[in-house]
Structure 1
Amino acid sequence: MSVLCRVCVCVCVYIYIYIYIFIPCFIICLSCVFRYVIQNPNCEWEEVPSLPSTAYLLLRSKFKPSISTIHSVVESSDDVTTKLLIKLQNGAFVEAVIMRYDTRLGKYGGKPRPGGPRATLCISSQVGCKMGCKFCATGSMGFKNNLSSGEIVEQLVHASRLSHIRNVVFMGMGEPLNNYAALIEAIRVMTGSPFQLSPKRITVSTVGIIHAIKKIQSDMPNLNLAVSLHAPVQDIRCQIMPAARAFPLEKLMDTLQEYQKNSQQKIFIEYIMLDRVNDEEQHAHQLGNLLEPFEVVVNLIPFNPIGTLSHFKTSSEQRVTSFQKILRGTYDIRTTIRKQMGQDISGACGQLVVNMPDNRSIGGGSLITDIEDLHL
């Protein structure tokens, strides 16, 4: 055998060992490490059992078991909502919200719903937000910084120690599609071992970042997409959502139509109900006409007061119900009314601006009532 042939054989054997033995073992080791860290907070690397000695050296030199910590946990008087204040590695704070519920309560299509006790985690993707929505306390903070994929995933890690998380919604602080790379990387971790979340149980909410909506369907198929529409015409959208000027409603709807054609999935529409702003009968008809060509679920969200940060008022229960009846009865659009929870701990949608003991506002988030189950 020539020297060249011997070299080729050695290279092939090395590649075989690397690809088929080393890489699978390393992946298995990482999975075991991740699972151990989740189950044993504040552990040291030496406590992780059954790793090669070189793995301990690598972990000690390059990694930390956790890059964020739980600063506080606040329970709501409703007994189902928990708010986590999480301190990041740069000293900033974000909030994540756990909501526990029983899907057997209530009906779907006139029949009892299947399922049982479940929990949804609302996750933040940024510290602050640059979208500046005038009905959202987080929007008043402005943008501070993006979260890393690890900081996003660790919100799930922290929450998993308190509840078995079935669904994840990116509806906390920040615009998820403005932190696109970290968002996608975090979701890939969540859908892998040890979490094994189904993409169908993950929802990403956006104000309508058109170029990112076009991209996410191919990068991460089977996710749920929720669009914060909040108004049926561009003028009103711009009044209450300044960032909407960059994403004209006509172009946004064209993008959603293409998204739905490619994904063959329902799109969730979030619509906050603001008294005398977007809750009139004419607005319901405008919204119905806008959404009639789509397969959507509209989620009407009663506005939660955010103190002096906003002049808006909450729509009356009668107005919200009338709005729902028009969408359902006239346009046959499935429409739900979001049940608000956690208001006593500022845990409801749009309310979350974290107040530390010295009253510095440093965080925020939002909460929903398990939007994934609406497609059942």
Structure 2
Amino acid sequence: MATYRSVFDAAELRAQLNDAGINTKFMASIWKYVLQNPGCELGEIPDLPSSAYRLLRTKFKPFTSTVHSVFHSTDGVTTKLLIKLQNGAFVEAVIMTYDTRLGKYGGKPRLGGPRSTLCISSQVGCKMGCKFCATGTMGFKNNLTSGEIVEQLVHASLLTNIRNVVFMWHHFDTISCHVVSENDDDDGIYLLMGMGEPLNNYTALVEAIRVMTGSPFQLSPKRITVSTVGIIHAINKLHSDLPGLNLAVSLHAPVQEIRCQIMPSARAFPLEKLMTALQTYQKNSQQKIFIEYIMLDGMNDEEQHAHQLGKLLETFQVGCRCRGGNKCGLWRLDRAFLVVNLIPFNPIGSSSQFRTSSDQKVSDFQKILRGTYNIRTTVRKQMGQDISGACGQLVVNLPDKRTRDLTDIEDLRI
């Protein structure tokens, strides 16, 4: 059976059009028509050169993936899409709706209304093998193409208007965390995630985001968040390739020893080098960095851990916000551009070796970071647990003989 490429696979479509001598300006009009007519055939797109129709019919499809199932949570705000790929594998994407009027700014109710955020998968399974994560138990099957990544946005857009998109590392599946912006008129950032480590599929990630921020999608880069376990070499080039994005880092421990115990891949990304990479990213991008921290009872949730984390993050700096921008050469500590998200642990099965931290421990941890270190700290609200869409629960429970074992630490690129 012939294998077709997604029409949203920008690099392949551009290359094929160039080879056929067709102007690539038609790419945006092709995408716009498919968005407006999701059940169309590519031959129905108007005003294309005749050679373009032949090319599209033989090489591409409007969609190479299909929505297999849709699950709605009882809380009414979470929708999970089970998406079947062309190769028979499945990934999950999650839509969450959050009413910004429920938040506060400066102690007063915020303006706004409902906002939908899409959490996108970048891989089938994951190589990282984190011990608290369901997705990690799947092993790694394959990377998604850029077209398969973009198609998740298209599928979701047929259900609701998507304002924010997040590529997040595998264990924060459908947890909503609304982070209030410094600007009254800003709607804030929502943190969600899908399956896979986005920066382990770097080329496809970059290409997909460039499509999403271009015509006809026109998503603002500041509405897109990329989360990572801490792939240092990819973080070092992310800002130059995709300026303006938000970065979220799955830290989960304030010291390297504990981090390696719960995240085996952390051995490839030493904490000291990771912090240096994050400081450089923050200085260059002037964007917020979100620190993700899953609360595990007795493992990383004691007061000493809160103080260790606070001291670790004290070193972060951002450029001054004077009229001269960075030209004045002055730098100051400003941890308003650093946000810690405390994440309640979701047991991923009866065999889980971890327990959920008590509400009191989470509250005490937050108070130390806020009160002693003046670090903005939020606690994620659990949503979508009844459809296995909450933190640590995202895993496709379908048999697949093509699953590969988790990557050995020696095979991870530093």
Same fold (TM over 0.5): yes
Distance across 2 between alignment mates of 1:359 and 1:56 = 36
Cα RMSD (Å) of the superposition?
Answer: 2.0
Q: 1:274-299: per-residue Cα shift (whole Å, max 9, x none)?
A: 11111101110100001112231000
| Corresponding residue number in structure 2 for 1:198 | 220
| Corresponding residue number in structure 2 for 1:115 | 112
| Residue of structure 1 aligned with 2:396, choices 318, 331, 354 | 354
The CA deviation at 1:176 is 0.5
Correspondence 1:222 to 2:272: no
| Corresponding residue number in structure 2 for 1:268 | 290
| Corresponding residue number in structure 2 for 1:11 | none
| Corresponding residue number in structure 2 for 1:40 | 37
| Residue of structure 2 aligned with 1:314, choices 356, 359, 369 | 356
| Residue of structure 1 aligned with 2:378, choices 319, 326, 336 | 336
| Corresponding residue number in structure 1 for 2:260 | 238
Distance across 2 between alignment mates of 1:155 and 1:266 = 25
The CA deviation at 1:32 is 2.1
| Corresponding residue number in structure 2 for 1:253 | 275
Matched residue count: 340
Q: Contact 1:354/1:361 (CA < 8 Å) preserved in 2?
A: no
Correspondence 1:326 to 2:368: yes
The CA deviation at 1:34 is 1.0
Identity over aligned pairs, percent: 79
The CA deviation at 1:308 is 3.2
Q: Contact 2:89/2:400 (CA < 8 Å) preserved in 1?
A: no
Q: Higher Cα Rg: structure 1 or 2? A: 1
The CA deviation at 1:37 is 1.3
Distance across 2 between alignment mates of 1:55 and 1:216 = 34
Distance across 2 between alignment mates of 1:351 and 1:324 = 24
Alignment of 1:165-204 (within 5 A): 165-171=162-168, 172-204=194-226
Q: Contact 1:207/1:228 (CA < 8 Å) preserved in 2?
A: yes
The CA deviation at 1:360 is 9.7
The CA deviation at 1:359 is 10
Distance across 2 between alignment mates of 1:41 and 1:328 = 47
> Which ranges in structure 2 are unaligned for 5 or more consecutive residues?
1-17, 169-193, 317-334, 404-414
SS at match of 2:52: helix
Q: Contact 1:135/1:240 (CA < 8 Å) preserved in 2?
A: yes
Letter in 2 for 1:218: S
Correspondence 1:208 to 2:230: yes
| Corresponding residue number in structure 1 for 2:67 | 70
| Corresponding residue number in structure 2 for 1:14 | none
Letter in 2 for 1:48: I
| Corresponding residue number in structure 2 for 1:365 | none
Distance across 1 between alignment mates of 2:252 and 2:199 = 18
Letter in 2 for 1:341: M
| Corresponding residue number in structure 2 for 1:13 | none
Distance across 2 between alignment mates of 1:239 and 1:108 = 38
Distance across 2 between alignment mates of 1:44 and 1:257 = 48
The CA deviation at 1:327 is 0.4
Distance across 1 between alignment mates of 2:401 and 2:88 = 13
The CA deviation at 1:260 is 1.3
Distance across 2 between alignment mates of 1:216 and 1:279 = 31
Distance across 2 between alignment mates of 1:179 and 1:54 = 33
| Corresponding residue number in structure 2 for 1:9 | none
Q: Which has the higher helix share?
A: 1
Q: Contact 1:129/1:174 (CA < 8 Å) preserved in 2?
A: yes
| Corresponding residue number in structure 1 for 2:86 | 89
| Corresponding residue number in structure 2 for 1:31 | 28
Q: 1:215-260: per-residue Cα shift (whole Å, max 9, x none)?
A: 1011111100000000000010000000000001011111111111
Distance across 2 between alignment mates of 1:313 and 1:130 = 24
| Residue of structure 2 aligned with 1:140, choices 107, 124, 137 | 137
Letter in 1 for 2:198: P
The CA deviation at 1:52 is 3.1
The CA deviation at 1:155 is 0.5
Distance across 2 between alignment mates of 1:101 and 1:218 = 31
| Corresponding residue number in structure 2 for 1:162 | 159
Letter in 2 for 1:66: F
